[in-house]
């Protein structure tokens, strides 16, 4: 079996070298880049399993790149950044990142986070890749929602994790603790806000009435319930 490929995008050579050494010692393949332009060119012929992306890049806004990676390619993205404010973390997660690591960090922490993301992604690849519910079809292999008329709406990898969680447990209460256990990340205000944003975006894409959603119901003080009838393909 081929080892998972991790790409590293950071303009600091010392960080690229440190992460490359730690990841290769842990058994991963790596590719590293100091510029977004080089990284995007490599993606034309390479499909990494995990992308480590610094937000402070010299030739492109890191958040814009994260959003495009998550939305257009469905890539698993872990942000590595010196921006430690809660709002920066929330913004990164709501734009589609799967995790957020603050500099300075220990290389072992990054390796552990990468392994955790790959473990969480593995069950999804074994499950059905399409699910039908209430006139919609969710294609998890290409990160696309298709309505009954064939119109398509893309969703990010992070939004897909939440959607899959709902579709795998229809008509059952999913608490915040359930979500944190299933999706990972540190419990707390930033996790809760990130989940709220992802659920709000999913409701918008499913054309839900924000005041009276039909599919994703909020049970205040308890969690959420997905009320659709789901058929997995």
Determine contact, residues 127/225, Cβ cutoff 8 Å.
no
Residues 171, 103 share a domain: no
Q: What does each of the 233 residues of the chain score in pLDDT, given as a tens digit?
A: 578 899 999 999 999 999 999 999 999 999 999 999 999 999 888 888 899 999 989 999 888 888 778 766 667 899 999 888 888 888 888 787 888 999 999 999 999 999 888 876 654 444 568 999 999 999 988 889 999 999 999 888 778 889 999 999 999 999 888 888 887 765 667 678 778 888 998 999 999 998 899 999 999 888 999 999 999 98
Domain holding 144: CATH number? 1.10.10.10
Cβ atoms within 10 Å of 32's Cβ, excluding its own: 19
Q: What pairs with residue 5 in β-bridges? A: 29
Residues 180, 106 share a domain: no
Say which residues have a Cβ less than 8 Å from residue 69's Cβ, sequence separation at least 6. 51, 53, 75, 77, 96
Which residue from 156, 130, 127 is spatially nearest to 141, judged by alpha carbons? 130
Task: Provide the domain limits for residue 60.
Answer: 5-125
pTM for the complete prediction?
A: 0.59
The number of distinct structural domains making up the chain is 2
End residue of a domain, out of 125, 150, 185: 125
Residues 48, 12 share a domain: yes
Considering only CA atoms, give the Rg of the chain.
Answer: 18
Residues 67, 150 share a domain: no
């Amino acid at each position: 079996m081929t080892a998972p490929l991790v790409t590293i995008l950071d303009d600091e050579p010392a960080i690229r070298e440190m992460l490359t050494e730690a990841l290769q010692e842990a058994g991963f393949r790596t590719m590293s880049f100091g510029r977004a332009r080089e990284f995007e060119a490599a993606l034309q012929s390479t499909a990494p399993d995990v992308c480590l992306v610094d937000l402070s890049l010299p030739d492109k806004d890191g958040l814009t790149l994260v959003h495009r990676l998550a939305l257009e390619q469905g890539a698993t993205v872990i942000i590595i950044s010196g921006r430690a404010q809660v709002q920066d973390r929330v913004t990164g997660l709501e734009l589609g990142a799967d995790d957020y690591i603050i500099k300075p960090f220990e290389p072992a922490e990054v390796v552990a986070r990468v392994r955790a993301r790959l473990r969480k992604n593995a069950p999804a690849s074994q499950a059905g890749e399409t699910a039908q519910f209430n006139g919609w079809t969710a294609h998890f292999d290409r990160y696309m929602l298709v309505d009954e008329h064939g119109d398509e709406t893309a969703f990010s990898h992070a939004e897909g994790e939440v959607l899959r969680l709902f579709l795998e447990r229809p008509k059952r209460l999913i608490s915040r603790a359930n979500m944190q256990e299933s999706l990972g990340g540190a419990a707390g205000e930033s996790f809760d806000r990130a989940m709220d944003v992802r659920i709000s975006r999913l409701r918008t894409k499913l054309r839900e009435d924000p005041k009276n959603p039909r599919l994703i119901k909020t049970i205040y003080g308890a969690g959420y319930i997905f009320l659709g009838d789901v058929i997995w393909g």
